[in-house]
Structure 1
Amino acid sequence: MSNTRTRYGLLYSEYEYIPYCRVSFEKFVIAVTCLPLLAFIFCISYSVIFNFESATYTHCQVYNFLPSISAAIGSFSPQREIWQAAISLQALPRIFVAMEYLNHHQTVLKRDNFWLGYLACVLNIVENIALLTLSFFTSSKFYGIHEKAFITFILVSEIYMFLICILQKKYNKIKRHSLKWKKRCLLTNLIFIIIAGYLFMRHNSFCEPYVYSMFAASEYIVVLSNMAFHSTAYLDFQHKDLVIYKHGFALTER
């Protein structure tokens, strides 16, 4: 009887373990990160150039020069469709990365701490689902759903980043460069979430010019630092390739 293996619930024979495609994991992570990054840059730029007055309008009716992320990605076309396409395309690759982190944590964690690896994986996937939800249920049409999805995204992403930093510091000390950048991204993210919250409340309370634009800029940094945190995956899986086989896929040593 032939020897078999399973990975991600897929069963395949070792005799059929022939690669169809091999891609360096660094390029894979860069491609996945660039999808939302380029879409984000396009949506902000296009909104400022072609939808400036509508995108920067608030109930206070004071002058602002930057649109909020919700306005830029959800209120206008083609920005809305481009953002939704980018977030949809990166969803499955991100789940793959989450599963690879789970496999990695299972090799470095002690058996009684396996639950930490599973928790990190679940948080990563929930963050991804929340991002999909807030992208398709826009604030202009589905404010209640969008708001809940946004709050879930922020809370879960913070817990996930914090947990990953703890796990990497405790169980993966050899990759200090990756941990250093993760800490920087986490700290930046936390600081600008606080700043964005303060500016949002100040705008609603005092209706000062430019305050909403500063809130929007803070939002941008929150999103960009989150993307940067996830892009550090290429540091954690350096010298590995994404290999596609007849009955599955996996990361293999280069």
Structure 2
Amino acid sequence: MSTRVHIPIQYLLWFAYTLPGLALFTCVGLSLVKDFEKSTRTHCNVFNFLPSISASIGDCEPQRYIWRLCFALDSIPRYLIAYMQLMRLLNRHHMGLTELYPFVQIGNSCLHFLELTFLLLLTFVSSNEIKWIHECSFVGFMICSLLHMLLTVLIDYFWPRTAHVRLTDQELATRSKRLRWFLINIFSFFISLYFYFRHNSSCEANIYSMYCLFEYIVVLTNIAYHSVVMDEWDQNNGQIQIFF
């Protein structure tokens, strides 16, 4: 005999996109309070006022376990949301180029699944354990994340529709939000790279902290970008069923 549990989709979405932000603020906050010197130390020993995410979750405890627990709990909902979003997008029958559209959306979703997978590797393999896996996971995460966001924005703005279907006010608002978060994300990423290489070349005080600050913004805007899906899904009737 099975038990059926109905969970409103909005609850799942709030959980999936709130938990990573909560984990970030908790781990960075704990590092500032109890592990300030250890988490802000760099190879050239200049003063910094912020820890990197990698230092917070890889070098300090209990931050390491909090971060891994949060992402372990978050991973299944994120994969599930990515799959449900793909199914929703494939049912948009008003989109033009009907033979090509499914392949493009499936390819874009593959980028999203890879992004989530690289994020898991990045979370559970720290730079202190297997550095090359951690670094490759970070590179893979950023490439897949940026490509997925870019392709989604391009589809939102440029993919043809059937002549009798126009954008609704909700669609205009959601695609505008996606574009805004994507632009902030990519600009923050390149600014963080500037501070990272400047720190490595000149070892100025507080420059690494500026890199860390923009690293936080990259993570938070990535979460904000993906959370735009909350505006698209039915807030009243959308539910998922879980069987026990």
**Structure 1 length normalisation: TM-score?**
0.86
Counterpart in 2 of 1:251? none
How far apart are the structure 1 equivalents of 2:152 and 2:49? 36
Larger fraction in strand = 1
The number of residues matched between the two structures is: 231
Report 1:29-44 matches (<5 A): 29-44=13-28
Post-superposition offset of 1:136 = 0.8
Q: Which amino acid aligns with 2:206?
A: Y
How far apart are the structure 1 equivalents of 2:174 and 2:33? 37
Which residue, 146, 151, 154 being the options, matches 1:166? 154
Alpha-carbon distance change, 144 to 219 in structure 1, aligned in 2, over 3 angstroms = same
Report 1:192-207 matches (<5 A): 192-207=188-203
- Counterpart check, 1:47 vs 2:47: no
Post-superposition offset of 1:19 = 8.8
Counterpart in 2 of 1:8? none
Alpha-carbon distance change, 241 to 19 in structure 1, aligned in 2, over 3 angstroms = farther
Post-superposition offset of 1:166 = 2.0
Question: Mind listing any 5+ residue stretches in structure 2 that lack a counterpart?
Answer: none
Counterpart in 2 of 1:185? 181
Post-superposition offset of 1:163 = 1.2
How far apart are the structure 1 equivalents of 2:204 and 2:100? 54
- Counterpart check, 1:70 vs 2:66: no
Q: What does the per-residue CA deviation read over 1:12-46, in whole Å, with 9 as the maximum and x for residues that have no partner? A: xxxxxx99333332222111111111111100000
Instruction: Tell me how large the CA RMSD over aligned residues is.
Output: 1.9
What is the percentage of aligned positions where both structures have the same residue?
Answer: 31
Which residue, 234, 238, 243 being the options, matches 1:241? 238
Question: Mind listing any 5+ residue stretches in structure 1 that lack a counterpart?
Answer: 1-17, 248-254
- Counterpart check, 1:120 vs 2:108: yes
Secondary structure of the corresponding residue to residue 111 of structure 1: coil
Does the Cα contact within 8 Å between 2:51 and 2:212 map onto a contact in 1? yes
How far apart are the structure 2 equivalents of 1:73 and 1:90? 16
